[in-house]
Amino acid sequence: MNIKITKASKSRIHSVDMNDIPFGKVFSDHMFIADYINGKWQNFEIKPVENLSLHPSNLALHYGQSIFEGMKACVTDAGVPCLFRPEMHSKRLNKSAHRMCMPDFPEDVFLEALHKLVNIDSQWIPPQDGSALYIRPFMFATDEFLGVRPSEKYKFIIMTLPVGPYYTEPVSLKAETNFVRAIKGGVGEAKAAGNYAASLYPAKLAKEQGFDQVMWLDGIDFKYVQEVGTMNIFFVMDGVVVTPKTDGAILKGITRDCIITIMKDKGYKVEERLVNIEEILEASSNGKLQEVFGAGTAAVVSYVKRIHYNGHDINLNVNNFKMATLAYDTITGIRKGTIEDKFGWLVPVEVMETV
């Protein structure tokens, strides 16, 4: 693939304290950018991160045709920069694109762009435990047009950011009984920007009431757990790992998939099924609810210390969380190369000379 590369004349890395990186605010030197014009992806380029220039009628700004991915690169203890499950992210990006009536981005270009971009900015991968290079591929409409129809032109960009942990403390959740994130047939399974915009107001109310995040319930009965603001959710009840089945309204998390795979591999019983919030309440009151944790690329594994539902509180002792710790340690161990990558999730970044 012909990717034009223009390198920054001077890296900004020396102005960054890698031991204290606020999530989402520090960007590495370069980005990948491409245009979809006349039915074809073209103008593949890696260049220094710069502002975009958009016409005010940009279709994405008005009608929300915008999707993204969240993935990570890490460096093993032996110093090898690696991508984590890049093909799976490429496939999920294209599923989101399909749902939002946007063009596929070719997987071979996606992978080559990732390798080249992370290779150029490999010194931006923080080696500290719990840190990584967060990778944000995203696609948005670029037609200059006011009217509801799919855009004919798009941009696809990949940015990278050194990050520490998304949540530094266990979180408290409010099970939401008024607002809905997604219903079957909607766009809940797509990583569409609008899903996150729609979550902001309920999340703001939950924060005002002292919670860190909203736990979404289904939009029909307000009974079945879906996911948490930025993560999928897992429960451990009576030694069984349980997570809501993905039914079209829940994001098919890649960390979720890692945890299911790891737990099954360790011989634990894993159930993907409908999870009624009443069942969680009952398991809590009869002592069967052992752990609750969230899973996401940004959050990795995040312990849940409290769930509030309809006047009831479920409190959890995070110090006893064995499965959540096993999940976190296994994922981070694989990323560091200290645990065998028997599932083939790590892809070493191809080292190439870039002038």
Q: Which residues bind to ligand COI, rule: CB under 6 A?
A: 70, 230, 296-298
* Smaller CB separation from ligand COI, 192 or 318: 192
Give yes or no for a contact between 69 and 93, defined as CB atoms under 8 angstroms apart: yes
Least gap, CB of 215 to ligand COI (angstroms)? 15
Burial of 94-117, coded b for 16+ CB within 10 Å and e otherwise, reads bbbbebbebbbbeeebbbbbbbbb
* Smaller CB separation from ligand COI, 154 or 166: 166
Degrees to nearest 5, angle at CA 291 with 286 and 293: 140
* Smaller CB separation from ligand COI, 24 or 239: 24
Least gap, CB of 22 to ligand COI (angstroms)? 13
* Smaller CB separation from ligand COI, 21 or 281: 21
Least gap, CB of 186 to ligand COI (angstroms)? 18
Residue 192: DSSP 8-state: B
* Smaller CB separation from ligand COI, 83 or 237: 83
The distance of Cα 76 from the centroid of its chain, to the nearest Å, equals: 21
Q: Which amino acid is at 158?
A: I
Nearest residue to the partner ligand COI, using Cβ:
70
Q: Is residue 200 helix, strand or coil? A: helix
In whole angstroms, give the CA distance from residue 296 to residue 230. 7
Least gap, CB of 7 to ligand COI (angstroms)? 27
Least gap, CB of 282 to ligand COI (angstroms)? 30
Least gap, CB of 54 to ligand COI (angstroms)? 23
Least gap, CB of 295 to ligand COI (angstroms)? 9
Q: Phi first, then psi: give them for residue 223, nearest 5 degrees.
A: -130, -35
* Smaller CB separation from ligand COI, 284 or 297: 297
* Smaller CB separation from ligand COI, 31 or 298: 298
Give yes or no for a contact between 203 and 211, defined as CB atoms under 8 angstroms apart: no
Q: Is residue 347 helix, strand or coil? A: strand
With residue 328 as reference, give the H or E element that holds it. helix 323-336
Give yes or no for a contact between 64 and 148, defined as CB atoms under 8 angstroms apart: no
Degrees to nearest 5, angle at CA 160 with 158 and 161: 150
